[in-house]
Amino acid sequence: MEPERPDENGDGQQSQGLKRGGAAGVVARARAQGLALKERAEAEAKTYKDPQQTQLWKSIFRVSHDRSDPRNRSLAILSNVFLHLHPAKINRDATRYSFTWGMGGITFYLFIVLTFTGILLMFYYHPTKVQAFRDILYLEHDVPFGKLLRNMHRWAAHLMIITTWLHMFRVVLTGSYKRPREFNWCVGVVLLVLTLLLSFTGYLLPDDQLGFWAVTVGTNMARATPGFGSEGPFGPQLGMTPFNDVRFGLLGGSIVDANALLRSYIWHCIGIPVVASLFMAVHFWRIRKDGGISGPAPVMLESEMKAAKK
Amino acid sequence: MAMAIERPRSNRWLLWLVGSLAVVGVLALMVEDWGQLWKISSAPDNVPIVGMIPLVIFFTWLGLKQSKENDQLVETLEEDPALAKTHHRKTHPWRPGWAREIHVWPYLVRVEFLAAIIVTVILFAWSILLNAPLEEPANPNLTMNPSKAPWYFLGLQEMLVYFDPWIAGVVMPGLLVVGLMVFPYVDSNPLGNGYYSWRQRRFAVSMFMWGFFMWIILIIIGTFIRGPGWIWFWPGQTWDHNAVVFDRNRDLHEIIALYGLPFLNTSPFKEIFGALVVGFIFVAGGLFFHWLMLRRGLERSDFKSFRAFWNWASRSGEFEKKLLERTSILQYLTFQFFAISVLWLFPVKLILRLAFTIKYIWVTPWFNV
């Protein structure tokens, strides 16, 4: 091919072109090539009008979402890591709000909100006696949206406890703990306890009077643990003192102080969330393995009750 | 084919409305100190509790309403075996030809998405309107009065009034958690799996509600009633920090000893006496639960005469008898153990303490009950 970029090449080539067709010929050829390039670019741009047909899109989304035929609807769920916990299809009445109350899902969503706001809060918080309380003041008065962040974390935590209880209540009212879901109910009870402990360990972190005395009252009960508490039945006989009993282990000391702050911080931010995540994974997985959401199932009649297996 | 069961329109809700307004009105008249009531209810950490009360009431209603609808459907189908074979057995609308299952995308995902948005909006609004509490810096030398556990643990703190700390703080919560876990294993009733129902699961549902509502009532007592010094102040009474209660609570054996039985105040008679009374309470609890689990549902006709009521109270329900037959001895004993020690013992002690000022029933050098 003859030179397409006349400026880049030196005078010698330009003079060659001059020899062949003169200056007008060079211009005409350049124009023709320019037009061809433009047409090609336009044609290419038209294909970009449908982003779902691009290589970039297809590399991210494994299936096309431009049609809503049954196959694609199923694939939308099955091929997505976040949605694949769901089955592709469910009982048509199960999407009714009145059946599930949505409380389990909302509890999980609140856990996500709490993780998100909690991570942001960790950027501004030091679990030390000197700084903890000042960090809260700093959050409330200086950090942009710091007050909103702390408020959201607090209220989401309270709300999560209420939604957990209501979820449990619904499961009882619909008999959803019955065979084959007994074990998943137990996993749920563990998650309930972990939710309460998460909230409790977070209570101390602002290092204010409210948290301090609530945790003092709460951990004082541990003193009375039979066998393991310094004031519990058989505790002193087994050598328990305020400096080696179970309360000491919880607080890292005999009073609620710097070590207690650090311990609750680590339990709150790392220990319990990790354990709770594991139990959540099992909880959600078992929902699917136990046959998905329990209902609304067709009612059974008393007259159809089979005789008990002897 | 019957698609839905017609229900007559009733104006009973109006009666309920007027009735509850009257109750609220009378209660409002009894409030002495509105400022105190507002102070407690508007304390930031108490707002979730104030919000929880109507939520629990609403969802209890929502659940029981659907139970009642299913019960009516069950009744209809029991009476008409031909219909039972053809009906799709739900109270939800149904047309032949409708798909039994629908796609999660979009029909479920959109509900979840909507729920997430609504919860987020509520959280934002709540967080903008109400600040999280922050008191003075922690000060071990300045005891908060009242110093309260976080609200969800107030039930345990309230139990401290009635039991030794090792029972209230360690054994009771442990029994509560284990008791919840064994719940599915002691419920031998195969009916009511996956749909709301009351008639088919009266006893199981009411046992759970007993515990659940007891827990919530304890939280309400701990929040709204327990004031400085953990003294009982009725809602609307001023929290008097100088209030001194003349505590005339006595142990049961001391009260009985006053009636010419002074030896009860000495060992080992007081221990033996206490053990006997506790044993009696356990047996009474067991008999009560046994009686309750065999009762059929109360109907309006049972209140027509004493005789009708006696009939209800003394004759076991057929269905309930069948359920008991399905229950293994291990299931029965496990249930009784948790029901008596958690659901029964606690209200008994609460009433003995608050109404009869009895401190402990069983006093020993090692523990008190």
pLDDT band at A262 (very low <50, low <70, confident <90, very high): very high
Specify whether the CB–CB gap between B50 and B180 falls below 8 A: no
Say yes or no for a CB contact (<8 Å) between B212 and A165.
Answer: yes
Average pLDDT over every residue of B86-97:
83
Model ipTM value: 0.90
Q: What is the pLDDT of residues B160-211, one digit of tens each?
A: 888 888 888 888 999 999 999 999 999 999 999 999 999 999 999 999 999 9
Question: Which chain B residues have a beta carbon less than 8 Å from that of A170?
Answer: 59, 63
pLDDT at B42: 86
DSSP B171: I
Average pLDDT over every residue of A245-256:
90
Nearest by CB to B108, which of A95, A192, A213? A95
Say yes or no for a CB contact (<8 Å) between A302 and B78.
Answer: yes
Weakest-pLDDT range from A79-88, B246-255, B284-293? B246-255
Nearest by CB to A156, which of B123, B177, B184? B123
Q: How far apart are CA B368 and CA B361, in angstroms?
A: 8
CA A34 to chain B, closest CA, distance in angstroms equals 47
- φ and ψ of B358, to 5 deg: -100, 125
Sequence-separated (6 or more) residues with CB below 8 Å from residue A154: B132
Which one-letter amino acid corresponds to residue B78? E
Give the highest mean pLDDT range of A49-53, B147-151, B260-264, B284-288. B284-288
pLDDT at B276: 93
Q: How far apart are CA B16 and CA A142, in angstroms?
A: 51
User: CA of B145: which chain A residue's CA is closest?
Assistant: A213
- Assess A225–B contact: CB distance below 8 Å, yes or no: yes
Q: What is the pLDDT of residues B302-334, one digit of tens each?
A: 888 888 889 888 888 888 998 998 999 999 999
Say yes or no for a CB contact (<8 Å) between B133 and A193.
Answer: no
Average pLDDT over every residue of A246-272:
93
Q: How far apart are CA A182 and CA A195, in angstroms?
A: 20
In chain A, the percentage of residues whose pLDDT exceeds 90 is 54
The answer, yes or no, to whether residue A305 has pLDDT greater than 50, is yes
pLDDT at B317: 87
Specify whether the CB–CB gap between A185 and A167 falls below 8 A: no
pLDDT band at A224 (very low <50, low <70, confident <90, very high): confident
Which one-letter amino acid corresponds to residue B311? N
Q: Where are the beta strands (DSSP E) in A43-188?
A: 89-91
What tokens does B63 get?
């659940």
The answer, yes or no, to whether residue A264 has pLDDT greater than 80, is yes
User: CA of A93: which chain B residue's CA is closest?
Assistant: B92
pLDDT at A169: 97
Q: In this predicted model, which residue has the larger pLDDT, A97 or A9?
A: A97
CA A201 to chain B, closest CA, distance in angstroms equals 10
pLDDT at A6: 47
- Alpha-carbon torsion angle B168, B171, B177, B183, nearest 10: -110
Q: In this predicted model, which residue has the larger pLDDT, A208 or A15?
A: A208
Q: What is the pLDDT of residues A64-105, one digit of tens each?
A: 766 778 888 888 888 888 888 899 999 888 888 899 999 999
Average pLDDT over every residue of B326-351:
92
Residue with tokens 């999560």: A160
Nearest to B66, CA basis, from B30, B90, B36? B90
Structural domains in chain A plus CATH codes: 101-294 (1.20.810.10)
Q: What is the pLDDT of residues A171-187, one digit of tens each?
A: 999 999 998 999 999 99
What tokens does B23 get?
């109750």
What tokens does A144 get?
């942009």
Average pLDDT over every residue of A10-32:
71
pLDDT band at A202 (very low <50, low <70, confident <90, very high): very high
pLDDT band at B97 (very low <50, low <70, confident <90, very high): confident
In chain B, the percentage of residues whose pLDDT exceeds 70 is 98
Average pLDDT over every residue of B102-121:
93
Say yes or no for a CB contact (<8 Å) between B157 and A106.
Answer: no
- Assess A216–B contact: CB distance below 8 Å, yes or no: yes
Tell me the pLDDT of chain B averaged across its residues. Answer: 88
Integer CA distances (angstroms), A101 to A14, A163, A189, B58, B326, in order: 79, 10, 19, 11, 32
pLDDT band at B2 (very low <50, low <70, confident <90, very high): very low
Q: Where are the beta strands (DSSP E) in B218-298?
A: none
Tell me the pLDDT of chain A averaged across its residues. Answer: 88
Partnered with residue B115 across adjacent β-strands are none
The answer, yes or no, to whether residue A5 has pLDDT greater than 70, is no
The answer, yes or no, to whether residue B23 has pLDDT greater than 50, is yes
Say yes or no for a CB contact (<8 Å) between A224 and B165.
Answer: yes
- Assess A109–B contact: CB distance below 8 Å, yes or no: yes
Q: How far apart are CA B69 and CA A173, in angstroms?
A: 13
The dihedral built from the CA positions of residue B61, B63, B69 and B75, taken in this order, carries a sign that is negative
- Assess A310–B contact: CB distance below 8 Å, yes or no: no
pLDDT band at A138 (very low <50, low <70, confident <90, very high): very high
Question: Which chain B residues have a beta carbon less than 8 Å from that of A131?
Answer: none
Say yes or no for a CB contact (<8 Å) between A214 and B137.
Answer: no
DSSP B368: B
pLDDT band at A194 (very low <50, low <70, confident <90, very high): very high
- Selected residue of A133, A300, A306, A310 to mutate for chain B interface (largest B Cβ count, 10 A): A300
Q: How far apart are CA B53 and CA B62, in angstroms?
A: 14
Q: How far apart are CA B162 and CA B218, in angstroms?
A: 12
pLDDT at B264: 82
In chain A, the percentage of residues whose pLDDT exceeds 70 is 91
Q: How far apart are CA B270 and CA B277, in angstroms?
A: 11
Average pLDDT over every residue of A245-262:
91
Q: What is the pLDDT of residues B48-72, one digit of tens each?
A: 999 999 999 999 999 999 999 999 9
User: CA of A196: which chain B residue's CA is closest?
Assistant: B152
